[in-house]
């Protein structure tokens, strides 16, 4: 029988800070009209995605009915009446831009709306017009901001770039925050092409750092390191010390993922010192970037075997998250405290903290996310370690489904869950499923680490062992006939 050695903790960004919806005043909604219009109309995001990003960036927690009401009031609806769809289709061709309520609509969307019957009647009088591509279409301006990873502080910077470049960079950030990495990379490629040879510009540094985040999340560590180090150098050159601290933190996360814990700890310490020197909050204990870096340091200390320092840093991080009112951060840190207790063999306390972490997601209006998947994984490992394989199975399966949807097969998180799920299937005697899972793990490790890496070789051995078990079962069945 085999046992797992992979322990999955949360050591990446907490994308959404979710609270119960409350009654939002008219003044509050009007104060965020620009941001909501940018996301919903200009970037053509779904309403759930808009709510998700508004919660993360602005701690704005409006309910779906509240949003829909104000979109109607602002005449920002994207659903067209049947008469309006027919009018647009009659006027449109491949060289036509369709403008609805001052927003550009793609013809693909208009025609799919017609064909699929998703036509809703709007009580609001709408402006429908068609413009040739040579005409100027109205556009909203926006301010670029860089996404944050584990604890990075790569936020917006004032840059002298075109409004179009700012808009594309903002779109890249939105895609990163919603884990849509392919789309984020497309936007970043466009930004780099527009900026050209301006290596020292803040916008170029932001774009380079965001490349690093996308590659890190997808397990492409060589590319992640190249871009993060370039971003760090650019931030230092332009005097953006807080962004530089964020890049140092991200390098720490990268070293952690690659198993170089001493280098990870040194990078996190540099990040913490940078955040302390250039704190965004006079209350250092409630500075969000410092809180997250403390959490990451706790993870590294645990991996080095120093559970006392690990708990010390996680407890400081938990106190900071509570001061900030950051429920997502609390859930993350509670999970990581549970991991420390698991490492110490204190399974009852581990179970308690994992469930306290999950309790923060019970009223989650935006669905599942990576942090939640990590806790499911850890509960699976808790059951597996005590040889309750049947109990572990559904937790691993749920974690794997979530990770695969978010990151694909090649991320650090997905690979770890594949490893453990394969072990559980083997111990339950489901060898054919074990072969499937181990094959995915082997393929992912080979792509990320290379064919000769010791972990890749070990994954191949597990795959061959499972195949041999299938062969033995088939041979036994044939002999019994």
CA angle 222, 227, 230 (to 5 degrees): 125
Arithmetic mean of pLDDT over the chain? 75
pLDDT single digits (tens) 221-253: 999 999 999 989 988 888 888 888 888 999 999
CA distance 288 to 275: 10
277 versus 283: the higher-pLDDT residue is 277
Per-residue pLDDT reduced to its tens digit, 401-416: 999 988 888 888 899 9
Q: Which residue would you say has higher pLDDT here, 81 or 413?
A: 413
- What confidence score (pLDDT) does residue 263 get? 95
Q: Where are the beta strands (DSSP E) in 29-126?
A: 96-100, 103-105
CB 311 within 8 A of CB 337: yes
Residue 109 pLDDT greater than 90, yes or no: no
Band (pLDDT 50/70/90 cuts) for residue 326 is: confident
Range 259-267, long-range pairs (CB < 8 A, 24+ positions): 261/300, 261/303, 261/304, 262/304, 264/300, 265/297, 265/300, 265/301, 265/304
What structural domains does the chain harbor? 1-9+280-428 (1.25.40.10), 26-132 (no CATH), 143-278 (1.25.40.10)
Higher pLDDT: 442 or 86? It is 442
Q: Which of 79-88, 99-108, 363-372, 442-451 has the lowest mean pLDDT?
A: 99-108
- Residue 43 is given by DSSP the state S
Entry pTM: 0.63
Q: For residue 192, how many C-alpha atoms fall within 13 Å in the half-sphere facing its CB?
A: 14
Paired strand residues for 103:
100
| Top-confidence residue, 248 or 329 | 248
């Amino acid at each position: 029988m085999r046992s797992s050695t992979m322990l999955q903790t949360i050591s990446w960004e907490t994308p959404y800070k979710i609270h119960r919806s409350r009654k939002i005043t008219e003044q509050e909604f009007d104060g965020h009209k620009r941001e909501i219009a940018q996301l919903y109309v200009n970037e053509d995001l779904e309403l759930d995605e808009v709510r998700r990003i508004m919660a993360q960036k602005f701690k704005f927690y409006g309910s779906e009915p509240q949003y829909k009401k104000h979109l109607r009031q602002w005449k920002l609806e994207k659903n067209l009446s049947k008469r309006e769809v027919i009018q647009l289709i009659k006027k449109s061709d491949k060289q036509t831009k369709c403008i609805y309520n001052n927003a550009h609509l793609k013809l693909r969307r208009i025609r799919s709306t017609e064909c699929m019957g998703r036509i809703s009647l709007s009580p609001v009088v709408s402006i429908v017009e068609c413009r040739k591509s040579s005409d100027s279409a109205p556009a909203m301006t926006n301010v670029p901001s860089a996404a944050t990873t584990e604890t990075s502080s790569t936020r917006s910077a004032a840059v002298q770039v075109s409004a179009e470049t700012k808009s594309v960079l903002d779109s890249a950030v939105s895609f990163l925050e919603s884990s849509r990495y392919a789309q984020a990379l497309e936007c970043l490629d466009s930004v780099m092409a527009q900026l050209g040879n301006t290596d020292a510009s803040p916008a170029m540094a932001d774009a380079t750092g965001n490349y690093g985040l996308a590659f890190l999340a997808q397990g492409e560590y060589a590319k992640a390191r190249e871009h993060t180090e370039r971003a760090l150098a650019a931030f230092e050159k332009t005097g953006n010390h807080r962004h530089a601290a964020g890049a140092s933190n991200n390098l720490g996360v990268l070293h952690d993922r690659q198993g170089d814990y001493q280098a990870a700890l040194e990078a996190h310490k540099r990040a913490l010192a940078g955040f302390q020197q250039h704190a965004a909050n006079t209350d250092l204990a409630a500075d969000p970037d410092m809180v997250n870096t403390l959490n990451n340091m706790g993870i590294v200390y645990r991996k080095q075997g120093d559970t006392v320092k690990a708990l010390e840093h996680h407890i400081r991080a938990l106190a900071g998250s509570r001061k900030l009112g950051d429920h997502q951060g609390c859930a993350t840190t509670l999970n990581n405290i549970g991991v420390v207790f698991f490492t110490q063999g204190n399974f009852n306390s581990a179970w308690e903290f994992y469930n306290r972490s999950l309790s923060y997601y019970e009223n989650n209006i935006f669905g599942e996310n990576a942090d939640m998947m990590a806790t499911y994984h850890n509960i699976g490992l808790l059951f597996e370690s005590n040889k309750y394989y049947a109990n572990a199975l559904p937790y691993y399966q749920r974690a794997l489904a979530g990770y695969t949807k978010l990151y694909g097969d090649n991320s650090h998180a997905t690979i770890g869950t594949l490893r453990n799920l394969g072990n559980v299937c083997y111990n339950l005697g489901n060898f054919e499923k074990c072969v499937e899972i181990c094959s995915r793990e082997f393929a992912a490790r080979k792509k990320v680490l290379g064919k000769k890496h010791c972990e890749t070789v070990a994954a191949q051995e597990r795959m061959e062992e499972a195949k041999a078990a299938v062969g033995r079962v088939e041979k036994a069945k044939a002999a019994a006939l």
